[in-house]
Amino acid sequence: MRNFSGGVSVITAGVGDERTGATVTSATALSVEPPTMIVNINRTSSTWPVIERHRHFCVNVLSNEQQAIAERFAGSGGAKGVARYEGAEWFRLVSGASALSGALAAIDCEVEEIIERHSHAIILGRVVAIATGAGEPIVYHNGSYGGLLR
């Protein structure tokens, strides 16, 4: 799957000092009506129990200028939990999960259903709010970040 290029998102969950998140390429739309997202999270991730407990998450679609945020939420540099939020501006939408200012999109979701399979949880989220931004997306391929070639 390293040869499959994907858009990069940061999934955020929790409130206050319990906030955490993860960098993923596995966030996608399930349906437009009703608006629903799918996120796949490894059940050994520190993000998984927070999503399960708070029953919300926000899909923050990153721009090519937000690679440092992607790396921080992927665990680069050792940042964990709420420390991953440092160095960026965040706000809340409806669910209480953190939305990234300047993201291409922040898709706020309440957990609708969780399907546990093998090492991962497949999380279906009912979209409750969306904020949009502008810019070019960041792409992840074969262990590296990049932009789109036009």
pLDDT surpasses 90 at 132: yes
pLDDT band at 110 (very low <50, low <70, confident <90, very high): very high
pLDDT surpasses 70 at 150: no
Beta bridge partners of 40: 122
- In whole angstroms, give the CA distance from residue 6 to residue 82: 26
- In whole angstroms, give the CA distance from residue 25 to residue 63: 13
pLDDT band at 2 (very low <50, low <70, confident <90, very high): confident
- In whole angstroms, give the CA distance from residue 7 to residue 27: 9
Q: Tell me the per-residue pLDDT of 10-67, one tens digit each, with 9 for 90 and over.
A: 999 999 999 999 999 999 999 999 999 999 999 999 999 999 999 999 999 999 999 9
Mean pLDDT calculated for residue range 99-124: 98
Pick the closest to residue 51 from 110, 5, 103 (CA basis).
110
Domains, the chain, ordered by start: 6-146 (2.30.110.10)
pLDDT band at 147 (very low <50, low <70, confident <90, very high): confident
- In whole angstroms, give the CA distance from residue 53 to residue 90: 21
Q: What is the mean pLDDT of the chain?
A: 95
pLDDT band at 149 (very low <50, low <70, confident <90, very high): low
pLDDT surpasses 70 at 145: yes
For the chain, percent of residues with pLDDT exceeding 90: 91
pLDDT band at 100 (very low <50, low <70, confident <90, very high): very high
H or E segment and range at residue 73: helix 67-73
